[in-house]
Amino acid sequence: MAPAAAHEPEVIRDKAAMRAWSRRRRAEGKAVALVPTMGFLHEGHLSLVSAAVAAAAGPVAVVVSIYVNPSQFAPTEDLATYPSDFAGDLGKLAATGAVAAVFCPPDLYVRGSAGHPAAGASGGAVSCLEDAGGHAHETWVRVEQLEKGLCGSSRPVFFRGVATVVAKLFNIVEPDIAVFGKKDYQQWRVICRMVRDLDFAIKIIGSEIVREADGLAMSSRNVHLSCEEREKALSISRSLVNARTAALNGNNHSQQIKDQIVQTLEEAGGQVDYVEVVEQESLTPVKRIDRPAVICVAAWFGKVRLIDNIEIQTTS
């Protein structure tokens, strides 16, 4: 198949304009598919666009949101240094020929304008995440069990922020389809459960992990790895592949698998946040891999925290 012709997507920054745009597309008989991102796009993100097109049964209008969500970062995390390249992102999305619009709001938590009680001293809008004057953002979406453990243990505000901003995006964009990468496995499951529990009429697609040629899972944060750290980080994907092979060959004791992965990562110079073997939907730990499971890993290499996982489909 020949590559799609480049098509410059419409850039939308205003929430009301975004909602109106989606409603016009639906009135034209198109489904609206949303791909939420935080920008600094790579091939993994672009694969989500392809998955969005493939998931639609008929004509589809794909929206990619680019928004670095402050509410999912703790004060000690890398919000200030999260990489960005908006012009580069637009070029990559245009080259796909499949993206109709890019939604890039300046701040989804701003309230107030001149004369409004939530306005700042200068009369402009202020972020209600920072406003302590009685107008702060105080409504949060929690997926109480699935947000525990794994990344939720070391990042206690993360999934509260993720679920809330995704709910906001769903209410603004009003998509029929939304696509999330399975590299962020717990995030994908949290969103699936939120959609089920709150009756969002949205089809959630989990798209497979996209890897570099050497196996490293694609991530916007990979740019912060030194050459040496990047080479060491390959121990993550290699240990996961070895663990899956062992499990499928009958060595399915979770603790033994976890211990081997931890040893491999530490010998490579990584600092392990967690290694867990959990059931795929509930994310509850399993002692033996005798049902569909996923091995999830988070580890630091230098100042970069990387996550990865591998699914294991077995019933014995």
Q: Which DSSP string do the residues of the chain spell out, in sequence order?
A: -PPPPP-PPEEE--HHHHHHHHHHHHHTT-EEEEEEE-SS--HHHHHHHHHHHHH-SS-EEEEEEE---GGGS-TTSSTTT----HHHHHHHHHHHT-EEEEE--S-TTEE--TTSTT--TTSS-EETTT--SS---------TTTTSSTHHHH-TTHHHHHHHHHHHHHHHH--SEEEEETTSHHHHHHHHHHHHHTT---EEEEEPP-B-TTSPBP-GGGGGS-HHHHHHHHHHHHHHHHHHHHHHTT--BHHHHHHHHHHHHHHTT-EEEEEEEEETTT--B-SB--SSEEEEEEEEETTEEEEEEEEE----
Name the active-site residue from 7, 42, 45, 135.
45
| Residue 283 φ/ψ region, left for φ over 0, alpha for ψ in the -120 to 50 degree band, beta for the rest | left
Distance separating alpha carbons of residues 185 and 310, to the nearest angstrom: 9
Q: Please confirm, yes or no, whether 253 is among the known catalytic residues.
A: no
CB 275 within 8 Å of CB 252: no
Q: Please state, in angstroms and as integers, the Cα–Cα distance from residue 257 to each residue in 27, 217, 232, 297, following that order.
A: 52, 20, 20, 12
Radius of gyration of the chain (CA): 21
Q: Could you list the active site residues?
A: 45
